[in-house]
A and B are shown apart, each in its own frame.
Chain A
Protein backbone atom coordinates (compact mmCIF):
# COMPACT_ATOMS: atom_id res chain seq x y z
CA UNK A 1 0.00 0.00 0.00
CA UNK A 2 2.82 2.42 0.81
CA UNK A 3 4.08 1.98 -2.75
CA UNK A 4 1.11 3.90 -4.15
CA UNK A 5 2.42 6.58 -6.46
CA UNK A 6 1.06 10.05 -5.95
CA UNK A 7 1.70 13.41 -7.53
CA UNK A 8 0.01 15.51 -4.88
CA UNK A 9 0.87 15.03 -1.23
CA UNK A 10 -2.48 16.62 -0.38
CA UNK A 11 -5.61 16.85 -2.49
CA UNK A 12 -8.54 18.74 -1.05
CA UNK A 13 -11.63 18.82 -3.23
CA UNK A 14 -14.83 20.77 -2.48
CA UNK A 15 -14.49 20.49 1.27
CA UNK A 16 -17.25 22.16 3.26
CA UNK A 17 -17.66 22.34 7.01
CA UNK A 18 -20.47 24.29 8.66
CA UNK A 19 -20.45 25.32 12.31
CA UNK A 20 -23.47 26.20 14.41
CA UNK A 21 -21.70 29.49 15.22
CA UNK A 22 -22.30 30.52 11.62
CA UNK A 23 -18.74 30.03 10.33
CA UNK A 24 -18.55 27.96 7.17
CA UNK A 25 -15.55 26.52 5.42
CA UNK A 26 -16.95 26.92 1.98
CA UNK A 27 -16.15 24.47 -0.80
CA UNK A 28 -12.37 24.55 -0.41
CA UNK A 29 -10.20 22.91 -3.08
CA UNK A 30 -6.44 22.95 -3.50
CA UNK A 31 -3.51 20.58 -3.98
CA UNK A 32 -0.07 20.42 -2.39
CA UNK A 33 2.27 18.94 -5.00
CA UNK A 34 4.64 16.22 -3.79
CA UNK A 35 8.07 17.61 -2.95
CA UNK A 36 6.90 21.15 -2.34
CA UNK A 37 6.21 23.56 0.52
CA UNK A 38 2.81 25.19 0.51
CA UNK A 39 2.06 28.23 2.62
CA UNK A 40 -1.52 28.37 3.79
CA UNK A 41 -2.17 32.03 4.43
CA UNK A 42 -5.04 33.77 6.14
CA UNK A 43 -5.92 36.02 9.03
CA UNK A 44 -6.82 34.60 12.41
CA UNK A 45 -10.22 32.96 12.09
CA UNK A 46 -10.00 32.67 8.29
CA UNK A 47 -10.48 28.90 8.38
CA UNK A 48 -6.89 27.62 8.24
CA UNK A 49 -7.14 25.48 11.36
CA UNK A 50 -10.56 24.15 10.36
CA UNK A 51 -9.16 23.11 6.98
CA UNK A 52 -6.18 21.37 8.58
CA UNK A 53 -8.40 19.62 11.11
CA UNK A 54 -10.65 18.39 8.31
CA UNK A 55 -7.75 17.03 6.32
CA UNK A 56 -6.31 15.28 9.39
CA UNK A 57 -9.78 13.90 10.21
CA UNK A 58 -9.66 15.57 13.61
CA UNK A 59 -13.07 16.95 12.74
CA UNK A 60 -15.44 15.50 10.16
CA UNK A 61 -15.99 17.58 7.03
CA UNK A 62 -19.65 17.87 6.00
CA UNK A 63 -18.78 17.15 2.39
CA UNK A 64 -15.84 16.92 0.00
CA UNK A 65 -12.97 14.61 -0.75
CA UNK A 66 -9.54 14.59 0.87
CA UNK A 67 -6.52 12.55 -0.11
CA UNK A 68 -3.16 12.49 1.63
CA UNK A 69 -0.20 10.74 0.00
CA UNK A 70 -2.67 9.44 -2.58
CA UNK A 71 -4.79 7.73 0.10
CA UNK A 72 -8.27 8.39 1.41
CA UNK A 73 -8.00 10.41 4.63
CA UNK A 74 -10.66 8.34 6.44
CA UNK A 75 -10.45 4.86 4.93
CA UNK A 76 -6.64 4.76 5.08
CA UNK A 77 -6.31 6.88 8.20
CA UNK A 78 -3.95 4.62 10.13
CA UNK A 79 -1.56 4.17 7.22
CA UNK A 80 -1.54 7.89 6.44
CA UNK A 81 -0.85 8.84 10.02
CA UNK A 82 2.15 6.56 10.24
CA UNK A 83 3.64 8.48 7.30
CA UNK A 84 2.84 12.07 8.19
CA UNK A 85 3.77 14.42 11.01
CA UNK A 86 1.75 17.18 12.57
CA UNK A 87 2.87 20.25 14.45
CA UNK A 88 0.35 22.38 16.31
CA UNK A 89 0.71 25.98 17.46
CA UNK A 90 0.69 24.84 21.11
CA UNK A 91 2.62 21.87 22.46
CA UNK A 92 0.09 19.10 23.07
CA UNK A 93 2.33 17.13 25.44
CA UNK A 94 1.76 16.82 29.18
CA UNK A 95 3.88 19.02 31.42
CA UNK A 96 4.98 16.10 33.62
CA UNK A 97 6.71 14.32 30.75
CA UNK A 98 10.25 14.95 29.58
CA UNK A 99 11.80 14.54 26.14
CA UNK A 100 12.83 10.95 26.97
CA UNK A 101 9.26 10.04 27.85
CA UNK A 102 8.05 11.38 24.52
CA UNK A 103 10.54 9.16 22.67
CA UNK A 104 9.26 6.18 24.62
CA UNK A 105 5.71 7.00 23.61
CA UNK A 106 6.39 7.77 19.95
CA UNK A 107 8.72 4.84 19.29
CA UNK A 108 5.79 2.51 19.80
CA UNK A 109 3.45 4.50 17.61
CA UNK A 110 5.61 5.13 14.55
CA UNK A 111 7.13 2.10 12.78
CA UNK A 112 9.95 4.26 11.41
CA UNK A 113 10.71 6.16 14.60
CA UNK A 114 14.45 6.69 15.10
CA UNK A 115 15.81 7.45 18.55
CA UNK A 116 19.17 8.32 16.97
CA UNK A 117 17.58 11.04 14.79
CA UNK A 118 15.49 12.27 17.71
CA UNK A 119 18.54 12.55 19.98
CA UNK A 120 20.39 14.44 17.25
CA UNK A 121 17.59 16.98 17.13
CA UNK A 122 17.53 17.26 20.92
CA UNK A 123 21.23 17.94 20.89
CA UNK A 124 20.98 20.40 18.04
CA UNK A 125 18.11 22.27 19.71
CA UNK A 126 19.92 22.06 23.07
CA UNK A 127 16.88 20.48 24.64
CA UNK A 128 17.46 18.64 27.95
CA UNK A 129 16.15 15.10 27.82
CA UNK A 130 15.38 14.79 31.54
CA UNK A 131 13.83 18.19 32.23
CA UNK A 132 10.06 18.32 32.60
CA UNK A 133 8.33 19.82 29.58
CA UNK A 134 6.37 22.11 31.90
CA UNK A 135 9.65 23.92 32.60
CA UNK A 136 10.40 24.53 28.90
CA UNK A 137 10.12 27.96 27.26
CA UNK A 138 7.70 28.41 24.36
CA UNK A 139 10.56 28.17 21.88
CA UNK A 140 11.84 24.96 23.49
CA UNK A 141 8.37 23.46 23.42
CA UNK A 142 7.99 24.17 19.73
CA UNK A 143 11.44 22.73 19.02
CA UNK A 144 10.54 19.58 20.94
CA UNK A 145 7.35 19.19 18.94
CA UNK A 146 9.31 19.62 15.72
CA UNK A 147 11.98 17.13 16.88
CA UNK A 148 9.20 14.59 17.47
CA UNK A 149 7.66 15.35 14.07
CA UNK A 150 10.93 14.91 12.19
CA UNK A 151 12.13 11.68 13.79
CA UNK A 152 10.02 9.11 11.95
CA UNK A 153 10.79 9.81 8.29
CA UNK A 154 7.46 11.54 7.70
CA UNK A 155 6.71 12.13 4.02
CA UNK A 156 4.39 15.00 4.76
CA UNK A 157 4.59 17.65 7.45
CA UNK A 158 1.39 19.50 8.35
CA UNK A 159 1.92 22.52 10.54
CA UNK A 160 -0.62 24.84 12.05
CA UNK A 161 0.86 28.22 12.99
CA UNK A 162 4.07 26.46 14.04
CA UNK A 163 6.11 29.67 14.07
CA UNK A 164 3.54 31.93 15.72
CA UNK A 165 4.60 33.48 19.01
CA UNK A 166 8.27 32.59 18.57
CA UNK A 167 11.06 35.14 18.50
CA UNK A 168 12.67 35.84 15.09
CA UNK A 169 15.86 33.87 15.86
CA UNK A 170 13.99 30.70 16.81
CA UNK A 171 11.66 31.14 13.83
CA UNK A 172 14.62 31.42 11.51
CA UNK A 173 16.20 28.29 13.04
CA UNK A 174 13.00 26.36 12.53
CA UNK A 175 12.58 27.50 8.94
CA UNK A 176 16.13 26.29 8.22
CA UNK A 177 15.27 22.90 9.64
CA UNK A 178 12.21 22.69 7.40
CA UNK A 179 14.41 23.43 4.38
CA UNK A 180 16.83 20.66 5.44
CA UNK A 181 13.89 18.30 5.85
CA UNK A 182 12.83 19.07 2.29
CA UNK A 183 16.29 18.26 0.95
CA UNK A 184 16.19 14.74 2.39
CA UNK A 185 13.93 13.32 -0.30
CA UNK A 186 10.56 13.79 -1.88
CA UNK A 187 8.89 15.33 1.10
CA UNK A 188 6.15 17.90 1.36
CA UNK A 189 5.07 20.56 3.81
CA UNK A 190 1.80 22.37 4.37
CA UNK A 191 2.46 25.27 6.68
CA UNK A 192 -0.39 27.45 7.81
CA UNK A 193 0.52 30.87 9.08
CA UNK A 194 -0.52 34.48 9.17
CA UNK A 195 3.15 35.47 9.31
CA UNK A 196 3.70 35.91 5.60
CA UNK A 197 7.42 36.69 5.92
CA UNK A 198 8.06 33.09 7.03
CA UNK A 199 6.20 31.70 4.06
CA UNK A 200 7.98 34.13 1.76
CA UNK A 201 11.23 32.40 2.76
CA UNK A 202 10.29 28.77 2.28
CA UNK A 203 7.03 28.32 0.35
CA UNK A 204 6.97 27.12 -3.26
CA UNK A 205 3.25 27.63 -3.55
CA UNK A 206 0.66 29.49 -1.53
CA UNK A 207 -3.05 29.31 -0.83
CA UNK A 208 -4.93 32.32 0.50
CA UNK A 209 -8.07 31.85 2.56
CA UNK A 210 -10.39 34.40 4.13
CA UNK A 211 -13.66 33.96 6.01
CA UNK A 212 -13.84 30.30 5.04
CA UNK A 213 -13.43 30.97 1.33
CA UNK A 214 -10.44 30.16 -0.82
CA UNK A 215 -9.16 33.32 -2.49
CA UNK A 216 -6.31 32.09 -4.63
CA UNK A 217 -3.99 29.10 -4.79
CA UNK A 218 -0.94 28.48 -6.94
CA UNK A 219 2.81 28.81 -7.33
CA UNK A 220 4.16 31.61 -5.17
CA UNK A 221 6.26 33.10 -7.95
CA UNK A 222 3.28 33.20 -10.34
CA UNK A 223 0.98 34.79 -7.80
CA UNK A 224 3.57 37.40 -6.84
CA UNK A 225 4.25 38.18 -10.49
CA UNK A 226 0.59 38.56 -11.35
CA UNK A 227 0.10 40.99 -8.47
CA UNK A 228 3.24 43.05 -8.99
CA UNK A 229 3.06 46.37 -10.77
CA UNK A 230 6.23 48.47 -10.81
CA UNK A 231 7.39 47.06 -7.48
CA UNK A 232 7.40 43.43 -6.52
CA UNK A 233 4.41 42.58 -4.30
CA UNK A 234 4.95 40.71 -1.05
CA UNK A 235 2.67 37.94 0.21
CA UNK A 236 1.44 40.36 2.84
CA UNK A 237 0.50 42.91 0.13
CA UNK A 238 -1.38 40.19 -1.72
CA UNK A 239 -3.18 39.03 1.41
CA UNK A 240 -4.21 42.60 2.21
CA UNK A 241 -5.32 43.14 -1.39
CA UNK A 242 -7.66 40.14 -1.27
CA UNK A 243 -8.97 40.86 2.21
CA UNK A 244 -9.71 44.51 1.33
CA UNK A 245 -11.31 43.53 -1.96
CA UNK A 246 -13.49 41.04 -0.14
CA UNK A 247 -14.54 43.61 2.42
CA UNK A 248 -15.39 46.17 -0.29
CA UNK A 249 -17.51 43.61 -2.08
CA UNK A 250 -19.33 42.82 1.12
CA UNK A 251 -19.99 46.46 1.99
Chain B
Protein backbone atom coordinates (compact mmCIF):
# COMPACT_ATOMS: atom_id res chain seq x y z
CA UNK B 1 0.00 0.00 0.00
CA UNK B 2 2.84 2.34 0.90
CA UNK B 3 4.47 1.75 -2.45
CA UNK B 4 1.22 2.40 -4.32
CA UNK B 5 0.87 5.68 -2.41
CA UNK B 6 4.40 6.68 -3.44
CA UNK B 7 3.85 5.75 -7.05
CA UNK B 8 0.48 7.51 -7.10
CA UNK B 9 2.09 10.65 -5.73
CA UNK B 10 4.77 10.46 -8.44
CA UNK B 11 2.24 9.89 -11.21
CA UNK B 12 0.01 12.72 -9.97
CA UNK B 13 2.90 15.15 -9.73
CA UNK B 14 3.94 14.33 -13.27
CA UNK B 15 0.46 14.53 -14.75
CA UNK B 16 -0.96 17.42 -12.66
CA UNK B 17 -0.15 20.10 -15.23
CA UNK B 18 -1.68 18.04 -18.03
CA UNK B 19 -4.93 17.46 -16.16
CA UNK B 20 -5.26 20.97 -14.73
CA UNK B 21 -5.03 22.48 -18.22
CA UNK B 22 -7.50 19.96 -19.68
CA UNK B 23 -10.05 20.30 -16.90
CA UNK B 24 -9.82 24.08 -17.09
CA UNK B 25 -10.59 23.70 -20.78
CA UNK B 26 -13.60 21.59 -19.85
CA UNK B 27 -14.78 24.26 -17.43
CA UNK B 28 -14.35 26.82 -20.22
CA UNK B 29 -16.54 24.66 -22.47
CA UNK B 30 -19.19 24.63 -19.72
CA UNK B 31 -18.91 28.41 -19.57
CA UNK B 32 -19.22 28.67 -23.31
CA UNK B 33 -22.29 26.40 -23.27
CA UNK B 34 -23.90 28.59 -20.62
CA UNK B 35 -23.09 31.72 -22.57
CA UNK B 36 -24.50 30.37 -25.83
CA UNK B 37 -27.66 29.31 -24.01
CA UNK B 38 -27.98 32.81 -22.59
CA UNK B 39 -27.48 34.47 -25.96
CA UNK B 40 -29.83 32.07 -27.78
CA UNK B 41 -32.49 32.42 -25.07
CA UNK B 42 -32.65 36.19 -25.65
CA UNK B 43 -34.11 35.56 -29.09
CA UNK B 44 -37.87 35.62 -28.53
CA UNK B 45 -38.47 33.62 -31.72
CA UNK B 46 -37.32 30.43 -29.97
CA UNK B 47 -39.97 28.38 -28.21
CA UNK B 48 -39.49 26.61 -24.90
CA UNK B 49 -39.23 23.31 -26.75
CA UNK B 50 -36.48 24.70 -28.98
CA UNK B 51 -34.54 25.80 -25.94
CA UNK B 52 -34.85 22.55 -24.05
CA UNK B 53 -33.61 20.62 -27.12
CA UNK B 54 -30.72 23.03 -27.45
CA UNK B 55 -29.90 22.67 -23.74
CA UNK B 56 -29.75 18.88 -24.04
CA UNK B 57 -27.44 19.18 -27.01
CA UNK B 58 -25.12 21.47 -25.06
CA UNK B 59 -24.93 19.04 -22.16
CA UNK B 60 -23.87 16.27 -24.55
CA UNK B 61 -21.19 18.53 -26.04
CA UNK B 62 -19.82 18.97 -22.50
CA UNK B 63 -19.76 15.16 -22.05
CA UNK B 64 -17.94 14.64 -25.35
CA UNK B 65 -15.27 17.20 -24.41
CA UNK B 66 -14.91 15.46 -21.02
CA UNK B 67 -14.41 12.19 -22.93
CA UNK B 68 -11.65 13.77 -25.01
CA UNK B 69 -10.00 15.13 -21.85
CA UNK B 70 -9.95 11.82 -19.98
CA UNK B 71 -8.91 9.75 -22.97
CA UNK B 72 -5.93 11.87 -23.95
CA UNK B 73 -2.57 10.33 -23.05
CA UNK B 74 -1.22 12.21 -20.03
CA UNK B 75 2.37 11.90 -21.27
CA UNK B 76 3.80 10.32 -18.10
CA UNK B 77 5.10 7.24 -19.91
CA UNK B 78 6.95 9.39 -22.46
CA UNK B 79 8.31 11.61 -19.69
CA UNK B 80 9.54 8.49 -17.85
CA UNK B 81 11.24 7.31 -21.00
CA UNK B 82 12.86 10.69 -21.68
CA UNK B 83 14.12 11.05 -18.09
CA UNK B 84 15.54 7.51 -17.98
CA UNK B 85 13.15 6.60 -15.16
CA UNK B 86 11.53 3.84 -17.21
CA UNK B 87 14.80 1.91 -17.41
CA UNK B 88 15.77 2.83 -13.84
CA UNK B 89 12.40 1.61 -12.56
CA UNK B 90 13.33 -1.96 -13.55
CA UNK B 91 16.11 -1.73 -10.98
CA UNK B 92 13.70 -0.59 -8.24
CA UNK B 93 11.46 -2.75 -6.05
CA UNK B 94 8.25 -2.07 -7.92
CA UNK B 95 6.40 -4.65 -9.93
CA UNK B 96 4.70 -4.13 -13.27
CA UNK B 97 1.38 -4.84 -11.50
CA UNK B 98 1.93 -1.95 -9.09
CA UNK B 99 2.89 0.39 -11.90
CA UNK B 100 -0.23 -0.64 -13.85
CA UNK B 101 -2.44 -0.26 -10.78
CA UNK B 102 -1.10 3.25 -10.19
CA UNK B 103 -1.84 4.24 -13.78
CA UNK B 104 -5.35 2.81 -13.47
CA UNK B 105 -5.99 4.74 -10.24
CA UNK B 106 -4.90 7.98 -11.89
CA UNK B 107 -7.20 7.21 -14.82
CA UNK B 108 -10.05 6.44 -12.42
CA UNK B 109 -9.49 9.75 -10.66
CA UNK B 110 -9.48 11.62 -13.97
CA UNK B 111 -12.73 9.87 -14.96
CA UNK B 112 -14.28 10.80 -11.61
CA UNK B 113 -13.26 14.46 -11.98
CA UNK B 114 -14.33 14.49 -15.64
CA UNK B 115 -17.69 13.02 -14.75
CA UNK B 116 -18.17 15.40 -11.81
CA UNK B 117 -17.39 18.47 -13.96
CA UNK B 118 -19.66 17.17 -16.72
CA UNK B 119 -22.59 16.51 -14.41
CA UNK B 120 -22.12 19.78 -12.52
CA UNK B 121 -21.71 21.73 -15.77
CA UNK B 122 -24.68 20.03 -17.45
CA UNK B 123 -26.82 20.56 -14.34
CA UNK B 124 -25.91 24.24 -14.31
CA UNK B 125 -26.76 24.61 -18.00
CA UNK B 126 -30.08 22.81 -17.46
CA UNK B 127 -30.85 24.99 -14.46
CA UNK B 128 -30.33 28.09 -16.58
CA UNK B 129 -33.10 26.82 -18.82
CA UNK B 130 -35.30 26.02 -15.83
CA UNK B 131 -34.99 22.24 -16.28
CA UNK B 132 -33.12 19.58 -14.35
CA UNK B 133 -30.68 16.87 -15.34
CA UNK B 134 -32.30 13.44 -15.42
CA UNK B 135 -30.72 10.09 -14.61
CA UNK B 136 -30.99 8.83 -18.20
CA UNK B 137 -28.89 11.73 -19.43
CA UNK B 138 -26.29 11.10 -16.73
CA UNK B 139 -26.14 7.42 -17.70
CA UNK B 140 -25.70 8.46 -21.32
CA UNK B 141 -22.78 10.63 -20.24
CA UNK B 142 -21.21 7.52 -18.72
CA UNK B 143 -21.66 5.71 -22.04
CA UNK B 144 -19.95 8.57 -23.86
CA UNK B 145 -17.02 8.43 -21.44
CA UNK B 146 -16.92 4.64 -21.95
CA UNK B 147 -16.40 5.07 -25.67
CA UNK B 148 -13.49 7.43 -25.09
CA UNK B 149 -12.08 5.21 -22.35
CA UNK B 150 -12.17 2.24 -24.70
CA UNK B 151 -10.16 4.23 -27.23
CA UNK B 152 -7.70 5.23 -24.51
CA UNK B 153 -7.34 1.68 -23.17
CA UNK B 154 -6.50 0.30 -26.60
CA UNK B 155 -4.03 3.08 -27.34
CA UNK B 156 -2.34 2.71 -23.94
CA UNK B 157 -1.68 -0.98 -24.58
CA UNK B 158 0.33 0.03 -27.62
CA UNK B 159 2.02 2.98 -25.91
CA UNK B 160 3.18 0.96 -22.92
CA UNK B 161 4.79 -1.67 -25.13
CA UNK B 162 7.23 0.89 -26.55
CA UNK B 163 10.82 0.57 -25.44
CA UNK B 164 12.26 3.62 -27.18
CA UNK B 165 11.14 7.03 -28.44
CA UNK B 166 10.71 5.95 -32.08
CA UNK B 167 8.69 2.91 -31.10
CA UNK B 168 6.58 5.12 -28.83
CA UNK B 169 5.65 7.48 -31.68
CA UNK B 170 4.79 4.58 -33.95
CA UNK B 171 2.83 2.70 -31.30
CA UNK B 172 0.84 5.79 -30.34
CA UNK B 173 -0.28 6.21 -33.93
CA UNK B 174 -1.08 2.53 -34.43
CA UNK B 175 -2.84 2.45 -31.04
CA UNK B 176 -4.97 5.44 -32.06
CA UNK B 177 -6.05 3.73 -35.29
CA UNK B 178 -6.77 0.44 -33.52
CA UNK B 179 -8.61 2.41 -30.80
CA UNK B 180 -10.94 3.95 -33.38
CA UNK B 181 -11.40 0.46 -34.87
CA UNK B 182 -12.33 -0.85 -31.42
CA UNK B 183 -14.96 1.87 -31.03
CA UNK B 184 -16.48 1.06 -34.41
CA UNK B 185 -16.48 -2.63 -33.55
CA UNK B 186 -18.21 -2.07 -30.22
CA UNK B 187 -20.81 0.30 -31.67
CA UNK B 188 -21.64 -2.43 -34.20
CA UNK B 189 -22.92 -4.50 -31.27
CA UNK B 190 -24.84 -1.63 -29.68
CA UNK B 191 -28.42 -0.98 -30.76
CA UNK B 192 -27.33 2.33 -32.23
CA UNK B 193 -27.77 3.49 -35.80
CA UNK B 194 -24.26 4.59 -36.80
CA UNK B 195 -25.68 5.90 -40.09
CA UNK B 196 -27.12 8.67 -37.89
CA UNK B 197 -23.69 10.25 -38.05
CA UNK B 198 -23.84 10.42 -41.86
CA UNK B 199 -27.33 11.90 -41.70
CA UNK B 200 -26.15 14.45 -39.12
CA UNK B 201 -23.24 15.51 -41.32
CA UNK B 202 -25.69 16.15 -44.15
CA UNK B 203 -28.14 18.06 -41.97
CA UNK B 204 -25.77 20.29 -39.97
CA UNK B 205 -24.89 22.75 -42.80
CA UNK B 206 -28.59 23.40 -43.42
CA UNK B 207 -29.53 23.91 -39.78
CA UNK B 208 -30.22 27.47 -38.78
CA UNK B 209 -32.02 27.38 -35.44
CA UNK B 210 -31.35 25.64 -32.09
CA UNK B 211 -34.64 23.81 -32.58
CA UNK B 212 -33.35 22.20 -35.74
CA UNK B 213 -30.03 21.40 -34.12
CA UNK B 214 -31.73 19.76 -31.16
CA UNK B 215 -33.23 17.20 -33.56
CA UNK B 216 -29.72 15.81 -34.06
CA UNK B 217 -30.00 14.02 -30.74
CA UNK B 218 -32.87 11.91 -32.05
CA UNK B 219 -30.58 10.44 -34.69
CA UNK B 220 -28.44 8.84 -32.00
CA UNK B 221 -31.06 7.96 -29.43
CA UNK B 222 -30.41 4.76 -27.48
CA UNK B 223 -32.93 2.52 -25.77
CA UNK B 224 -32.99 3.52 -22.09
CA UNK B 225 -31.81 0.12 -20.88
CA UNK B 226 -28.42 0.59 -22.62
CA UNK B 227 -27.61 3.42 -20.25
CA UNK B 228 -27.59 1.05 -17.28
CA UNK B 229 -24.65 -0.84 -18.77
CA UNK B 230 -22.50 2.29 -18.70
CA UNK B 231 -20.99 1.88 -15.23
CA UNK B 232 -20.36 -1.90 -15.45
CA UNK B 233 -18.83 -1.34 -18.90
CA UNK B 234 -16.56 1.35 -17.47
CA UNK B 235 -15.37 -1.00 -14.74
CA UNK B 236 -14.72 -3.71 -17.33
CA UNK B 237 -12.75 -1.30 -19.54
CA UNK B 238 -10.67 -0.10 -16.58
CA UNK B 239 -10.14 -3.70 -15.42
CA UNK B 240 -9.07 -4.93 -18.84
CA UNK B 241 -6.91 -1.81 -19.17
CA UNK B 242 -5.21 -2.64 -15.88
CA UNK B 243 -4.36 -6.22 -16.89
CA UNK B 244 -3.25 -5.18 -20.37
CA UNK B 245 -1.03 -2.44 -18.90
CA UNK B 246 0.41 -4.90 -16.40
CA UNK B 247 1.41 -7.31 -19.17
CA UNK B 248 2.73 -4.49 -21.37
CA UNK B 249 4.84 -3.07 -18.53
CA UNK B 250 6.37 -6.46 -17.83
CA UNK B 251 8.09 -6.24 -21.18
CA UNK B 252 11.80 -5.41 -20.95
CA UNK B 253 13.82 -3.63 -23.62
CA UNK B 254 16.21 -5.68 -25.78
Contacts and interface: CB of A to CB of B under 8 A. Distances in A.
Interface of A: 19-20, 56-60, 78, 81-82, 84, 86, 88, 90-97, 101, 104-110, 158
Contacts of B120: none
B204 to A, nearest CB: 43
Interface stretch (B84-92, B110-118, B147-155, B205-213): B84-92
A96 B82 CA distance: 13
Nearest to B163: A59
Nearest 6 interchain pairs by C-beta: A108-B6, A92-B84, A92-B88, A81-B93, A86-B91, A82-B93
A103 to B, nearest CB: 10
A93 B85 contact: yes
Contact of A86 (B7, B13, B80, B88): B88
Contacts of A90: 84
A131 B207 CA distance: 56
Contacts of B254: 19-20, 59
B87 A58 contact: yes
Nearest to B87: A58
B249 to A, nearest CB: 13
Contact of B9 (A59, A95, A104): A104
Given A19-B254, A59-B253, A94-B14, A108 B2 contact: yes
Contacts of B84: 88, 90-92
A101 B9 CA distance: 9
Nearest to B14: A94
Interface of B: 2-7, 9-10, 13-14, 79-80, 83-85, 87-88, 90-95, 252-254
B95 A88 contact: no
Nearest to B83: A94
A158 B79 CA distance: 24
B7 A108 contact: yes
Nearest to B8: A108
Contacts of B253: 58-59
B140 to A, nearest CB: 38
B93 A110 contact: yes
Contacts of B85: 92-94
A56 B91 contact: yes
A58 B90 CA distance: 6
Given A58-B252, A105-B9, A108-B2, A92 B83 contact: yes
A4 B7 CA distance: 29
A97 B95 CA distance: 22
A101 B93 contact: no
Contact of B5 (A20, A84, A95, A108): A108
A242 to B, nearest CB: 28
A57 B253 CA distance: 10
B90 A105 contact: no
Given A59-B253, A94-B80, A109-B7, 10 more contacts: A19-B254, A56-B90, A59-B252, A81-B92, A81-B93, A88-B84, A92-B87, A94-B79, A95-B83, A110-B93
B6 A105 contact: yes
Q: Which of A91, A94, A104, A158 has most chain B Cβ within 10 Å? A: A94
Contacts of A59: 252-254
B12 to A, nearest CB: 11
A78 B93 contact: yes
A178 B150 CA distance: 50
A137 B229 CA distance: 54
B83 A93 contact: yes
A118 B87 CA distance: 23
Contacts of A84: 91
